[in-house]
Structure formats: structure tokens, C-alpha cells
Amino acid sequence: MKQLLSVILLGFVFLSHATDKVLVFSKTDGFRHKSIEVGAEAIKKLGNENNFEVFHTENANLFTYNNLKQYKVVVFLNTTKNVLNEKQEAAFKKYINKGGSFLGVHAATDTEYNWPWYNKLVGAYFLSHPNQCEATMHIQDNKHASTRHLNKTWIKHDEWYNFKNISEKINVVLTVDEATYKGGENGKFHPVAWYQEFDGGRMFYTALGHTKESYTNPDFLKHLLGGFFYCLNRK
């Protein structure tokens, strides 16, 4: 009887997770990353393997509250510049205020520069970057779902964003060591990935994910999945 009950309970857990929906938004109004399409496919694969359903769009007209409220997480995947109008911004803000989650990848910080609320949500704005190169990251929080699979350091080839308007309220899980590459402008504590609870919802951001190769990198995919788990409120 106990075994049957356990099977039933596990079934309920699986079904509840299977109904989690994620909206991946990748509209661009500036630079367009060549990794967007492979990134969207990688996220769909993560969803298939981890029981959340992924919908990919570049149609900002879908940003109405009645549509957004069906999703547990809204992802900005390498979005750039102004991607939402005022009504769409209001709908997205209401979505977060009502408990929705936001996950930003790489150029999500190169987005909506004229919207102060978004700056606070995403945690920082893109400032500049040197040429892509290999650099060493340091794990600042090895208990977070996005970093607990990593050792104390992580060496990766990517495009290393410098940031401005960095919020003091973000919880940083990864930093990049500016001594290991040229062109860093944020000093000894240069954030790369972070999370926070904000204005009714949750958010996670990673500055990684510029390159196509990132989306077949097992450590990056586990890092990204950990961000999803945080936003989905899974352990």
C-alpha cells in the first residue's frame, strides 16, 4: 500500500512539473547573436529532459498579462535594445508583480535601456566588452542550483560583458577574474551570474551564452538549468 501511494505521489509531482510552461523571447532591435536559434533549441531540449514545456517567440504582441500568466518563466534570450512597447512593458511588469519569474541570458542586459524598472529587474546594464577569449571564473555560491555542479573555478571561452548600473540587491553566484584576460572594467568583483527576488517575482541572469558552442557545453547547460530550477522554484 505504501509503495502504491509513493508511486501515485511521484506521478502527481511529475504531472505538476510537466505543466510548467516557459516562454523564450529572443526579439532583437540591435545586434543579433548567431547563437539565438541554437540557444532556443538547447532550452527546448532542457525542457524535454526536465519536465517543462518551452515556447519560443519573437512576437512582442504576445506580451499581454492574460497570455503571460500561463508561463512560470519568461526568458529573454539574447534580446537587444527596445523590444517592448509601453503596453507590453506594463503587462510584463504585472506578470512579475503577480509572482512570475524572469531568466535573462547574455544580451538580456543589452535591452530596454530606457526602462528603469527593467534595470532593477535584470540587475545591471551592458556597458562594453573586449574580444571573445578564455577567462577564469570564481564560484561565489556553490549551493545555488546554477553553480553547485562546478568546482571553485571554471575556465570558459565567451564574451565577457562589463556592466554599469549594477544593483546592490543582486545575489552573485559567479564572478570573472579580470587578471585572466584583457579588457575587464568592473574590478576585483566582476559579476557574471546572479539571482534575486524582485517586486513579487524571481529572476536569474547569466552573462554567459554568447557563443554557439556554449549551448553544447555540459557545464554551461547545467548552469542554465540551475537558473531555470531557481525560477521554477525547484530544488
Total domains present in the chain: 1
Q: How confident is the model at residue 119 (pLDDT cuts 50, 70, 90)?
A: very high
Q: Is residue 23 part of a domain?
A: yes
What is d(CA 194, CA 176) in angstroms, rounded to the nearest whole number? 12
The 3-state DSSP class for residue 27 equals coil
Q: What is the pLDDT of residues 182-196, one digit of tens each?
A: 999 999 999 999 999
Q: Is residue 10 part of a domain?
A: no
Q: Is residue 7 part of a domain?
A: no
Q: Is residue 156 part of a domain?
A: yes
The pLDDT of 38-46, averaged and rounded, is 98
Q: Is residue 86 part of a domain?
A: yes
CATH number, domain with residue 211: 3.40.50.880
The CA-based angle 81-105-198, given to 5 degrees, is 90
Place of cell 535584470: 122
The pLDDT of 106-118, averaged and rounded, is 98
Q: Is residue 5 part of a domain?
A: no
Place of cell 556553490: 142
Buried b / exposed e along 154-171 (16+ C-beta atoms within 10 A): bebebbbbbbeebbeebe
The pLDDT of 143-167, averaged and rounded, is 98
Is pLDDT above 70 for 174?
Answer: yes
The pLDDT of 1-8, averaged and rounded, is 50
Q: How confident is the model at residue 2 (pLDDT cuts 50, 70, 90)?
A: low
Q: Which domain holds residue 208?
A: 18-231
Backbone angles phi, psi at 20, to 5 degrees: -65, 130
Q: Is residue 73 part of a domain?
A: yes
Q: Is residue 121 part of a domain?
A: yes
